[in-house]
Structure 1
Amino acid sequence: MFKIEIKWHEITNQTMKELKDALSFYNYSFPIEVRETESVFLQSLRYAETQKLNNYHFIAGYQNEELISIVTAHYLADVNAGFIVYLVTNPKIRSKGLGAKSLQKIEEVLQQDSIHAGYDSLKTIVLETETEEMVHSEKEKEDCVKRTNFFMKNGFYKVEDFLYFQPPIHDDGVDVPLHLFMKQRTEQEISKSEVKRIVKAMYVEKYHHGNGIEKEVLNTSYRKMNLEKHDLFCD
């Protein structure tokens, strides 16, 4: 059986060579119209350095000095949840367990964040995936189904009956309806009110502090989800 030996590196603002390689890997993996700018990654790393409990991770996996995987995630201390933003693997070695190993690695890292924040265990992990309505071709539809099956195979489930929008990450000002997928890591079920709190933390930590999206823009997207009577930011 093919076995992948991976050496994991935590990317920081101080590891400039690895950071440059990881960003090149990211840019190569996504078409320009859906990429976030490199400044978002740099800002997220800088912001994490100022935090005591919240955190941001940019993990790179190497095989024989070749970069084969990157995964990024935020730890949201107030809700004891991890938010996986990107998981990208080398297409030449997919279907060999690399994606699952990358998920396992970031889960271990987020678990350590949870313990550092004073919890016994990380409560849940959340991520966004595109909806079926977003695909434009049979190939994209096939990839969408594969991603959904991959996450479900690795313990995630789709949050049903929950309207979610990714706020505008590009200059077009368009927010995007997406699915939320979650992985429960404790026996206690995640209630709808807890999902709402997690989404609020995602908006504040990732999209405001990480992406630098203005508060009023985020408030507009937040209102569309009908999560509560108050805006995300009330000042």
Structure 2
Amino acid sequence: MNFEVVTSIDDPLFKKALDMYEEIFKVEIREDRHVFIHSLTSEYIKNHYIFLVGLKDDMVVSLSTGHYEPTTNSAFINYLMTHPEHRNRRVGAQTLEKIEEELHKCGQEVHGRDANMIMLESFGVESYDSEEGKEQAIMRKNFFNRHGYEILQNISYIQPNPQKSLPPSPINLFVKQYLPLQKDVIMPSIRSCYINKYIHGNENDREFVYELLDSMGL
């Protein structure tokens, strides 16, 4: 398995990876392609945005994206997905390890060291009615735990809905610390990553995002 970091929306891998993304995620829970296009082209964030494509025999089998936030030396993994035909073959694990590596490279370039922390979001069992959904949520939690991510317990975290006309959703926030960080460091880092993703990346209304941050105590 090999990986390519896509830096241009004209790269054929960009379209192939988004085709897989739209195949995996239902339209009501996925972000518009414009979010990915904007993140790769915006002068403000493109240099610290990672669009990572996993390949096997020249076929796209995984995708992960993430934003590095330089002021706090922290990062936010936005997506981690594996093609259904290639699950349970360590593709997801290798992809997670690779995007962590790429985000740490950003930290090395800016601060001369790895990122202090990486965060990601994942829906928990309480978000599902079906047993299948609950089982998948448990599997994701166990997967992230094995890779050093723990749910941050002291925050009622919410995510802006990808469909901007719909209300925000409660979701679990996982954090992986590379240094022993105190709350007064972790919380500002989460806030900065949240702004970087949801204002600068997704172009949500600034006032709306700040209201969400205030409601979370961030």
What is the TM-score with the length of structure 2 in the denominator? 0.94
2:121 & 2:19 partners in 1: Cα distance?
A: 23
List per-residue Cα deviations over 1:53-92 (Å, max 9, x = no partner).
x611100011101110100011011111121010011222
Give yes or no for contact 1:79–1:201 (8 Å, CA) kept in 2: yes
Greater RCO (Cα-Cα under 8 Å, separation 6 or more): 2
> Bigger radius of gyration, 1 or 2?
1
Q: How many residues end up aligned between the 2 structures?
A: 218
Q: Which runs of 4+ in 1 moved over 6 A?
A: none
- For the 8 Å contact 2:125–2:133, the answer to whether it is kept is no
- Aligned alpha-carbon RMSD (Å): 1.6
Partner of 2:4: 9
Higher mean displacement: 19-28 or 115-124: 115-124
Q: 1:58 aligns with which of 51, 71, 76?
A: 51
State yes or no: 1:102 paired with 2:102.
Answer: no
Q: For 1:138 and 1:60, how far apart are their aligned partners in 2?
A: 31
Residues 69, 88 of structure 1: 8 Å contact kept: yes
Give the TM-score of the pair, scaled to structure 1: 0.87
8 Å Cα contact 1:165/1:176 also seen in 2: yes
Structure 2: how far apart are the matches of 1:152 and 1:140? 18
Aligned-partner Cα distance in 2 for 1:175–1:191: 28
Q: CA deviation at 1:162?
A: 1.5
Aligned to 1:31: 26
**For residues 65 and 162 of structure 1, what CA distance do their matches in structure 2 show?**
42
Task: For residues 132-176 of structure 1, give each alpha carbon's deviation from its aligned partner in whole angstroms, at most 9, with x where no partner exists.
Answer: 221120010010000000000111111112121112332334111
**Which amino acid in the other structure matches residue 37 of structure 2?**
L
Q: Which residue of 2 aligns with 1:207?
A: 198
Q: 1:81 aligns with which of 74, 77, 80?
A: 74
Give the gaps of 5 or more residues in structure 1: 1-5, 228-235
Query: d(CA) in 2 for partners of 1:87 and 1:14?
Result: 19
Which letter does structure 2 place at the counterpart of 1:211? N
Gaps of 5+ in 2: none
Match of 2:126 among 128, 133, 154: 133
Percent of paired sites with the same residue: 32
Q: Counterpart of 2:28 in 1: which secondary structure? A: coil
Is the CA contact (8 Å cut-off) linking 1:131 and 1:177 kept in structure 2?
no
Query: Which one is further off, 175-184 or 165-174?
Result: 165-174
Query: What is the identity, as a one-letter code, of the residue corresponding to 1:96?
Result: R
Q: Which residue type is aligned with residue 218 of structure 1? A: V
